[in-house]
Amino acid sequence: MSWSEFPSMSRSDLRELRKSIDESFRSFTIEYGDSLEAFFDPLLDFLIFSERLLLNTPWPLMIAICAGLAFSASRSWKIAVGVIVAFMVIGYLGMWADTMRTLSIITVCTIVAIAIGIPLGVLMARSNKVQAVVSPILDVMQTMPSFVYLIPVVMLLGIGKVPGLIAVIIYALPPVVRLTNLGIREVDSDVIEAADAYGSSSWQKLVHVQMPLALPSIFAGINQTIMMSLSMVVIASMIGVKGLGQPVLKAITNQYFAMGLLNGFAIVALAIIFDRVSQRYGLRIQKHRQGDSND
């Protein structure tokens, strides 16, 4: 026996192992595939609804709404004008429909990620046991190559919007969970003690003290989640999610440099808009931290 060769399982055993895992998963798929699909139906309806809404809204109205939202969140004319210019250029270069589709799936993703992530983060912050269990799962979600978990998702749900959404959420969920947890845990213990001394219940403490003080951190998490889900659109397009990812994928396989570049820039433009708007909003809700104006 030489030390340069690791004493591995025999080839046939290994094949058996893989085969048995594959087969049990396959039978699981056959057994539960349909009911799982039914379970995700409301999500599919929501996705279709939001996509239709964005696609059917007249483009001038859509741009006005986006610019209005950007302005009301950031209170910055620069950002609002930036949004208008970016959307005009995107539309003129023929990427309007794809951009709307991507915008739709990112919006749905963000909503779902927030709906799952913030409560999960709160639970983690309240219990060390939950944290001990959830933390390694989040590590796996963030580091596991996305293609690996695409396989079972596609086996279970086929290709289409919902598996794409799930893939994106698996990748984009961890930051909002982690930063909610961190934000709540880092709330000054003096302030928590004061809340206790005044007889607050744990719910009152959460709502009136911990969440407001963790908000900047939670916002950083939401911002990260949006960025990460945008970066997933190309991979999601491989399993049938329409949007800016598909032309990029087409460009890769056919070596259409300009097509890839343009769609890539559209994704970047969306990312920058989301990032600036959410960061500005995050800063604005922390106005109490600026302080010292009277000193």
Task: Kindly state whether residue 127 participates in binding other proteins, applying the rule CB under 8 A.
Answer: no
Binding to other proteins by residue 195, rule CB under 8 A? yes
**Residue of 59, 208, 254, 261 interacting with other proteins (CB under 8 A):** 208
Q: In the range 211-230, which residues lie near other proteins by CB under 8 A?
A: 212-213, 215
CB nearer other proteins, residue 148 or residue 197? 197
Instruction: Match 């990748």 to its residue by tokens.
Output: 171
**How much is the CA Rg of the chain, to the nearest whole Å?**
23
In this chain, which stretch among 31-39, 49-57, 96-104, 193-201 interacts with other proteins, using CB under 8 A? 193-201
Q: What are phi and psi of 110, to 5 degrees?
A: -65, -45
Is 199 one of the binding residues for other proteins (CB under 8 A)? yes
∠ Cα 180 108 62 (to 5°): 120
Tell me the closest approach of the beta carbon of residue 29 to other proteins, in angstroms.
47
Cα–Cα dist 146/236, whole Å: 9
Q: Among 106, 109, 209, 244, which residue sits at the site for other proteins (rule: CB under 8 A)?
A: 209
**Binding of other proteins by 288 (CB under 8 A):** yes
Pairwise CA distance, residues 240 & 256, whole Å? 20
Q: Which two tokens stand for residue 187?
A: 């709330």
If binding is defined by CB under 8 A, does position 128 make contact with other proteins?
A: no
Nearest distance in Å: CB 42, other proteins: 36
Report in angstroms how near the CB of residue 183 gets to other proteins at its nearest: 13
Q: Is 201 in the site for other proteins (CB under 8 A)?
A: yes
Query: DSSP code of 145?
Result: -
Residue 127 DSSP code:
-
Query: Quick one: which of 23, 34, 193, 252 contacts other proteins (CB under 8 A)?
Result: 193
Of residues 227 through 286, those in contact with other proteins by CB under 8 A are 286
Instruction: Kindly report the length of the chain.
Output: 295
Short-list 249, 247, 228, CA closest to 238: 249
Helix (H, G, I), strand (E, B) or coil at 293: coil
Identity of the residue, 206 or 248, whose beta carbon is nearer to other proteins in the bound complex? 206
Q: Is 122 exposed, middle or buried (0-12, 13-18, 19+ CB in 10 A)?
A: buried
Chain positions contacting other proteins, by CB under 8 A: 188, 190-191, 193-201, 204, 208-209, 212-213, 215, 286-295
